[in-house]
Structure 1
Amino acid sequence: MTLESPRRFLPMLNHVKGKRSAVTCALKCDNACAKDVCNPSNNSYMRDIVSAEYSRRNILGVGAVGALTLLLGANAVNQAPGAQAQGLSPAARAGGRLQFSAIAPVSASVDEFTVPKTYSWEPVIRWGDPLFRDTPDFDINNQTPESQAGQFGYNNDYLDILPLDEKNTRAVLVANNEYTNESIMFPPSMDPATVRAIAKNAHGMSVVELERKAEGFPWKYVRGAKLNRRITMSTPFTLSGPVAGSDLVKTAADSEGRTVLGTLNNCAGGTTPWGTILSGEENFNGYFKVTAPTAAQRRYGLTNSNPGRGWHLDEQRFDASTEEYRNEPNRFGYIVELDPMDPTSTPVKHTAMGRFKHEGANVRVNADGRVVAYMGDDERFDYLYKFVSRDKYIEGNRAHNKTLMANGDLFVARFRGNSESEIDGSGAVPTDGAFDGSGEWIPLTRNGRSAVPGMSTEEVLVHTRLAADAVSPTKMDRPEDVEPNPVTGRIYVACTNNSNRGVGSNTPADEANPRTQNRDGHIIEITETNNDATAATFNWNLLMVCGDPAQGDVTYFSGYPVDQVSPISCPDNVAFDSAGNLWISTDGAPSGIGYNDGLFKVQLEGADRGKVEQFLSVPRDAETCGPVIHDQEGMVFVAVQHPGEDGIWGNNTSLFPYDGTPAPRPSVVQVFRGKNGNGLRK
Structure 2
Amino acid sequence: MRKLLPLLNSGHAGGRSALTCRYRCGDACFHEVPNTSDNEYAGDIIAGVLSRRSMMRTAAVVTVASATAGVVVAQGATEAHAATTGAAAEGRGGHGHGSVCDGARGLRFAPVEPNTADQVTVPSGYTQNVVIRWGEPILRGAPAFDPDRQTARAQAGQFGYNNDFLSLLPLREHGRQVLVANHEYTDEVLMFKGYDPANPTREQAEIAWAAHGLSVVVVQEERRSGKLTPVLRHHLNRRLTATSEFRLTGPAAGSDLLKTSADPTGTKVLGTLNNCAGGTTPWGTTLHGEENFNQYFANGSSATDKRYGIGASATERKWERFDKRFDVAQEPNEPHRFGWVVELDPYDPESTPRKRTALGRFKHEAAQPRLTRDGRPVVYMGDDERFDYFYKFVSSKRMKKGDSRAAHQHNLTLLDEGTLYVAKISGDSPAAEIDGTGKLPDDGEFDGTGVWIPLATGDVSHVEGMTAEEVYVFTRLAADKVGATKMDRPEDVEPSPRTGRVYVALTNNTDRGKTGKAGADEANPRNLNKHGQILELAEHWDNPAGDGFAWRLFLVAGDPEDPATYFAGYPKDEVSPISCPDNVAFDPHGNLWISTDGNQLGSHDGLFGVATRGERRGELKQFLTVPKGAETCGPIVQDRRVIVAVQHPGEVDGASVEKPASVWPDGPGRIVRPAVVAVYRQDGRDIGV
TM-score of the superposed pair, with normalisation by structure 2:
0.89
User: How far did 1:308 drift?
Assistant: 1.2
Note if 1:406 corresponds to 2:402.
no
Counterpart residue type for residue 24 of structure 1: T
- In structure 1, what is the equivalent of residue 125 of structure 2? 118
User: How far did 1:529 drift?
Assistant: 2.9
Secondary structure, counterpart of 1:285 in structure 2:
helix
- In structure 1, what is the equivalent of residue 111 of structure 2? 102
- In structure 2, what is the equivalent of residue 282 of structure 1? 291
Note if 1:133 corresponds to 2:136.
no
Q: Does the CA contact (< 8 Å) of 2:251 and 2:458 recur in 1?
A: no
User: How far did 1:96 drift?
Assistant: 3.0
Note if 1:22 corresponds to 2:18.
yes
Secondary structure, counterpart of 2:397 in structure 1:
strand
Q: Does the CA contact (< 8 Å) of 1:381 and 1:476 recur in 2?
A: yes
- In structure 2, what is the equivalent of residue 666 of structure 1? 674
- In structure 1, what is the equivalent of residue 53 of structure 2? none
- In structure 2, what is the equivalent of residue 299 of structure 1? 307
User: How far did 1:32 drift?
Assistant: 1.0
In structure 2, C-alpha distance between the alignment counterparts of 1:124 and 1:629, rounded to whole Å: 15
Q: C-alpha offsets along residues 397-434 of structure 1, whole Å, 9 cap, x if unaligned?
A: 22211110011110000111011421000000111110
Q: Does the CA contact (< 8 Å) of 1:72 and 1:486 recur in 2?
A: no
- In structure 1, what is the equivalent of residue 545 of structure 2? 534
Which one of 310, 318, 333 corresponds to residue 310 of structure 1?
Answer: 318
Secondary structure, counterpart of 1:378 in structure 2:
coil
User: How far did 1:163 drift?
Assistant: 2.0
Distance 1:75 1:92, change over 3 A: farther
Q: Does the CA contact (< 8 Å) of 1:101 and 1:116 recur in 2?
A: yes
Which one of 269, 277, 280 corresponds to residue 268 of structure 1?
Answer: 277
Distance 1:393 1:212, change over 3 A: same
Secondary structure, counterpart of 1:194 in structure 2:
helix
- In structure 2, what is the equivalent of residue 213 of structure 1? 222
Which one of 183, 186, 190 corresponds to residue 180 of structure 1?
Answer: 186
Note if 1:46 corresponds to 2:42.
yes
In structure 1, C-alpha distance between the alignment counterparts of 2:374 and 2:72, rounded to whole Å: 21
Which one of 528, 534, 559 corresponds to residue 569 of structure 2?
Answer: 559
- In structure 2, what is the equivalent of residue 384 of structure 1? 390
Counterpart residue type for residue 74 of structure 1: V
Q: Does the CA contact (< 8 Å) of 2:49 and 2:548 recur in 1?
A: no
Secondary structure, counterpart of 2:567 in structure 1:
coil
> What is the percent sequence identity of the aligned residues?
51
- Between 1:308-317 and 1:216-225, the stretch displaced more is 216-225
- In structure 2, what is the equivalent of residue 60 of structure 1? none
- In structure 2, what is the equivalent of residue 657 of structure 1? 665
Moved over 6 A (4+): 91-94
Q: C-alpha offsets along residues 320-370 of structure 1, whole Å, 9 cap, x if unaligned?
A: 112xx1100000000000010010000000000000000010000101221
User: How far did 1:446 drift?
Assistant: 3.3
- In structure 2, what is the equivalent of residue 59 of structure 1? none
Q: Does the CA contact (< 8 Å) of 2:128 and 2:677 recur in 1?
A: yes
- In structure 2, what is the equivalent of residue 87 of structure 1? none
Distance 1:511 1:156, change over 3 A: same
Note if 1:359 corresponds to 2:365.
yes
User: How far did 1:198 drift?
Assistant: 0.6
- In structure 1, what is the equivalent of residue 381 of structure 2? 375
Gaps of at least 5 residues in structure 2 are: 51-60, 76-99
Gaps of at least 5 residues in structure 1 are: 55-64, 78-90, 678-682
Q: Does the CA contact (< 8 Å) of 1:93 and 1:579 recur in 2?
A: no
User: How far did 1:74 drift?
Assistant: 3.4
User: How far did 1:658 drift?
Assistant: 2.1
- In structure 2, what is the equivalent of residue 170 of structure 1? 176
Which one of 318, 335, 340 corresponds to residue 341 of structure 2?
Answer: 335
Q: Does the CA contact (< 8 Å) of 2:598 and 2:605 recur in 1?
A: yes
Which one of 439, 449, 453 corresponds to residue 450 of structure 2?
Answer: 439
User: How far did 1:16 drift?
Assistant: 2.4
User: How far did 1:562 drift?
Assistant: 1.6
Q: Does the CA contact (< 8 Å) of 1:407 and 1:448 recur in 2?
A: no
Q: Does the CA contact (< 8 Å) of 1:409 and 1:448 recur in 2?
A: no
Q: C-alpha offsets along residues 555-585 of structure 1, whole Å, 9 cap, x if unaligned?
A: 1111112222100000000000111110000
Matches within 5 A, 1:408-427: 408-421=418-431, 422-427=433-438
- In structure 2, what is the equivalent of residue 86 of structure 1? none
In structure 2, C-alpha distance between the alignment counterparts of 1:161 and 1:310, rounded to whole Å: 35
In structure 1, C-alpha distance between the alignment counterparts of 2:443 and 2:683, rounded to whole Å: 49
What is the Cα-based RMSD across aligned positions, in Å? 2.3
- In structure 2, what is the equivalent of residue 32 of structure 1? 28
In structure 1, C-alpha distance between the alignment counterparts of 2:456 and 2:221, rounded to whole Å: 47
User: How far did 1:92 drift?
Assistant: 11
User: How far did 1:75 drift?
Assistant: 1.7
Q: Does the CA contact (< 8 Å) of 1:5 and 1:183 recur in 2?
A: no
Counterpart residue type for residue 349 of structure 2: P
In structure 1, C-alpha distance between the alignment counterparts of 2:47 and 2:426, rounded to whole Å: 9
Secondary structure, counterpart of 1:95 in structure 2:
coil
User: How far did 1:101 drift?
Assistant: 1.0
Q: C-alpha offsets along residues 353-390 of structure 1, whole Å, 9 cap, x if unaligned?
A: 00000001000010122110000000000000000112
In structure 1, C-alpha distance between the alignment counterparts of 2:253 and 2:264, rounded to whole Å: 11
Note if 1:196 corresponds to 2:192.
no
In structure 1, C-alpha distance between the alignment counterparts of 2:146 and 2:461, rounded to whole Å: 51
In structure 2, C-alpha distance between the alignment counterparts of 1:573 and 1:531, rounded to whole Å: 28
In structure 1, C-alpha distance between the alignment counterparts of 2:268 and 2:304, rounded to whole Å: 22
Q: Does the CA contact (< 8 Å) of 1:408 and 1:448 recur in 2?
A: no
Secondary structure, counterpart of 1:549 in structure 2:
coil
In structure 2, C-alpha distance between the alignment counterparts of 1:233 and 1:14, rounded to whole Å: 30
Secondary structure, counterpart of 2:248 in structure 1:
strand
Q: C-alpha offsets along residues 140-163 of structure 1, whole Å, 9 cap, x if unaligned?
A: 111011111110000000001112
User: How far did 1:540 drift?
Assistant: 0.4
Secondary structure, counterpart of 2:388 in structure 1:
coil
- Between 1:146-155 and 1:668-677, the stretch displaced more is 668-677
Secondary structure, counterpart of 1:336 in structure 2:
strand
Q: Does the CA contact (< 8 Å) of 1:207 and 1:230 recur in 2?
A: yes
In structure 2, C-alpha distance between the alignment counterparts of 1:249 and 1:286, rounded to whole Å: 19
Q: Does the CA contact (< 8 Å) of 1:375 and 1:384 recur in 2?
A: yes
Secondary structure, counterpart of 1:529 in structure 2:
coil
In structure 2, C-alpha distance between the alignment counterparts of 1:495 and 1:281, rounded to whole Å: 18
Q: Does the CA contact (< 8 Å) of 2:114 and 2:625 recur in 1?
A: yes
Distance 1:212 1:351, change over 3 A: same
Q: Does the CA contact (< 8 Å) of 1:290 and 1:304 recur in 2?
A: yes
Distance 1:246 1:575, change over 3 A: same
Distance 1:306 1:171, change over 3 A: same
Note if 1:587 corresponds to 2:583.
no
Distance 1:127 1:71, change over 3 A: farther
- In structure 2, what is the equivalent of residue 608 of structure 1? 616
Secondary structure, counterpart of 1:349 in structure 2:
strand
- Between 1:18-27 and 1:469-478, the stretch displaced more is 18-27
- In structure 1, what is the equivalent of residue 54 of structure 2? none
- Between 1:175-184 and 1:448-457, the stretch displaced more is 448-457
Query: Between Structure 1 and Structure 2, how many residues are aligned?
Result: 639
In structure 2, C-alpha distance between the alignment counterparts of 1:27 and 1:212, rounded to whole Å: 34
Counterpart residue type for residue 630 of structure 2: A
Secondary structure, counterpart of 1:391 in structure 2:
coil
User: How far did 1:483 drift?
Assistant: 0.9
Secondary structure, counterpart of 2:615 in structure 1:
helix
User: How far did 1:463 drift?
Assistant: 0.3
Q: C-alpha offsets along residues 250-284 of structure 1, whole Å, 9 cap, x if unaligned?
A: 00000111100000000000000111000000000
Q: C-alpha offsets along residues 513-547 of structure 1, whole Å, 9 cap, x if unaligned?
A: 00000000000000013564433210000001100
Counterpart residue type for residue 30 of structure 1: G
In structure 1, C-alpha distance between the alignment counterparts of 2:74 and 2:443, rounded to whole Å: 35
Counterpart residue type for residue 464 of structure 1: T
Distance 1:441 1:590, change over 3 A: same
Counterpart residue type for residue 26 of structure 2: D
- In structure 1, what is the equivalent of residue 353 of structure 2? 347
Counterpart residue type for residue 457 of structure 1: A
